[in-house]
Structure formats: structure tokens, C-alpha cells
Structure 1
């Protein structure tokens, strides 16, 4: 049977949503019987829609109202067109599995924390912490000369590491080139209005543009980021406030 009006994507979306009247539904089904490739896509959408509705009806899904609302948004999103069909299917499965079934069966009631909700920090953060501790020891040994004559251009020439511009009210207490797992690194100890901070930079061997992230480990805290081939970390004791804000300020000087 040839329908009076051609079958378009909107008709297929409405068919999946159950929004067609009987006569138009019959026309769509006749069209699908003659176009097996399109029929397979529609059946996949119908299957996903059924899974979503089952999830919405199941009270045991972990995540409660938030998870169900996410599923509803994904369900409604199926009607937006077939260009993103595969992405919608992946997103729907990811949300339901990650936020719901896996969390419920494996972890019970899930409460996100800084440690459990984030991936482990990059390896260069460990080197930054080690440099921070080494500099703290150096600062207490009177016989160890402190390199207060900090020259970022000279260090750049030696290491190919571009350093951020330090705020005018920061005073350099020491500046050293340390070995690391990735080659030479730079560590600059500063007095920032009475707060002792350590700015660490290294070339980790990969290219990335990563925003400032925060981690607390081994009795210290670090805000770290990467711009191009150079990674940076600002390390301080746990009692220092707004470390991320200071790191953001430093990162902006690199653009």
C-alpha cells in the first residue's frame, strides 16, 4: 500500500512514541515492511524505549529520582531525530548502567567524594608533591643555598618549560630544577602573602589541554592542569584556602 503522504522521519519518530492514529500507523508499518534497513532502526528505537520505560517503572534503580529523570530526558530525546541515534543509545545505556544498576548492585547507596568520584591524578602530581617536600626540607637546612634569583627565561632555555607569570605580591623563596620520571622539572617555592606554595612544571611526554583539577593526598593538596606539552601543579599544605583559584590565575597567564 502506497501512503497518500510520504513517510518522513517525523512519522517514524511518532511511530516509536506511539503518537500516530491507526490509519497512519498502518501506513508506516507498510512502509517499514518495504524498507528493512529503516525497519531495523525503528525496532532498535522501540527496544530502547521499552528498556527506558522498564527502568522508569523500577523503583529499585539506584539514584532514585535523579536517575529516573535522566532516563526521562533520554527518552524524550529520541524524538529529536535519527542523526544522533547511535549516540542516544550509548548515552541511555551508560546512564542507566553507571548511575543505576552497577551502583546499586556493586556499591549500595553511593555517596560521591573527592576520591571516589574522580580518576587518580596524573603521575606528574606525585613528582610535584615530592618536590614540595624536598623544598620544605631544603628551607630548614641553613647550609643549603636558596636560589632566590628566579629567572624563568633562563630555565625555559634549559628545560623548554614555559613558566606562568607569578603575581607581583608573591615572593620567590627558592627555585630549583629537579629530576622527575619525565625528565627535568622546575619547582618554585613562593611566599604568597604568608602562605607557602610550590609551583611545579614538567613536560610529561603527552599533549593535552586540561583544566585545573584538585586532589588531596598524603597530607598535602594540589591543583594541577596542563597546557600543550607542559603540565603544572600548585602544591600546598591542607590549611591553605583557594588553591584552585590561585592555580586558575596562574594558568591564565600562559595564554
Structure 2
């Protein structure tokens, strides 16, 4: 079976959406979409959402390149990661020599990979776990309530060592309930919780993250949806027990609110 005859899969649909399909697969995918109108509708919806996101985030291209993304900084980072990988491999080899690690385990440890997807998965997993833990709380859903908002944002800003703000989501019917400090792996994280008149709750999870900026990414697990992105040294995750379509306006409003805030100062200037 050659590639033209292969069944159409998720990789083909994503490549079609991104405009990366070669002519040999393009015709196969078009036929598949004609035979599956529901999937074609979903794909068209995704195309529209991506187009809207590109329009909203396109202004980023006109901004000055952050120092961390300059060629010299990237090269220095690559050198540091390579040296770190060399030291990690050396440490693994030492453990193999001393303890005799198993064959498949040694192979897994010695394979290096891009850490970015791991970081993405970790921040989303932490945010969704925090949402599930605290959104059901009746007495103590937050640590500091909204009537002490100034104290809340000041405290969280101090602990994260960067200014934190609470976006105003009242245009979408959500009010700030309050927030709390959470452990975030390599450092603390902040969580703000909002609710509406129907009692629906959502959270905004914030953590320092110096990796490169990203556009929105969507995740869904067991009925819990999340949009995440990175901007100006912070990682953000908006989480709720709702659909992607219902959560998208919230993520957009949070992004717009945060974009209107001044550039965060370095930690040593707080």
C-alpha cells in the first residue's frame, strides 16, 4: 500500500488545516471530507478559530524581538542545554555502571527530547488538577476572597516575583471570587477563581515561565477544557468545565485584559 492509499488520519487533517499537504494526499483528504460532512464542519470551525487567533496575535510580529529570542541568546541557551545533556548522560552512565540498570530503562533515560511539550503538558496538568480540586469546594474555594483583591494580587505578585493582576471578566458575566497560592513544580503558581450567576466557575492559573511566547493551545480531558499560552515570561491557563466554544471568549478576554497591563518588571525591581 502506497501513501496515497493510506486511510486519512488526524495527522492528515491537521496538515490539511495548516496547508502542508502534498498533492498526493490533498485529493484523498478532500474526498474523505466530502464523505464525512460532520468532520468537515469541525475542521472548518477550527480554521475559523485559528484565523481569528492569527488576527488577534498578529501584532506580536511587529513588536521588538525579546532579548531571550535573539540569535546570541538562543545559541547560548543551546550550549547550556547541550552541556546539561552531557552531564545528564554521564550521570546515567555512572548509575548503569554501579547499579546495572535494565536495558529498556537505560535506553529511555539516554534518549533526549525537546522539553517544551513536557512543560506544556505539566502546566496544563497542574492547572486542570487545581481546578478539579478547588472548584467543588463550598466553604474554602479560595484562600483570599475578592473583597481583599488588592491584598490578594499584591501577595501573589510578591510570591511569584512578578506583577499579577486579576482580569475583569464582568463583560462575560463572571465575577472574581478570590484566589490562592499553589505549588507549581519549579516555583509557586497563582490561581484566581471566578463564578457567574448560575454558579459556574472557572479558574485562571498563572506561573512564571521563561520559554518563548506561544499562541493559544487547547486541551480537553474528562469534560474539563483549558486554553493555555505564554506571554512576557508568564504561563497562563484558563480552565472550566465547559466546551471549547464557550471557553474561547473567556480566554480572549483574559488575553486582552492582560495585554493592556504594563510590561512586568524584573523580579529584582519588585
What TM-score does the superposition give when structure 1 sets the normalisation length? 0.50
- Based on CA coordinates, which of the two structures has the bigger radius of gyration? 1
Greater fraction helix:
2
TM-score normalized by the length of structure 2:
0.47
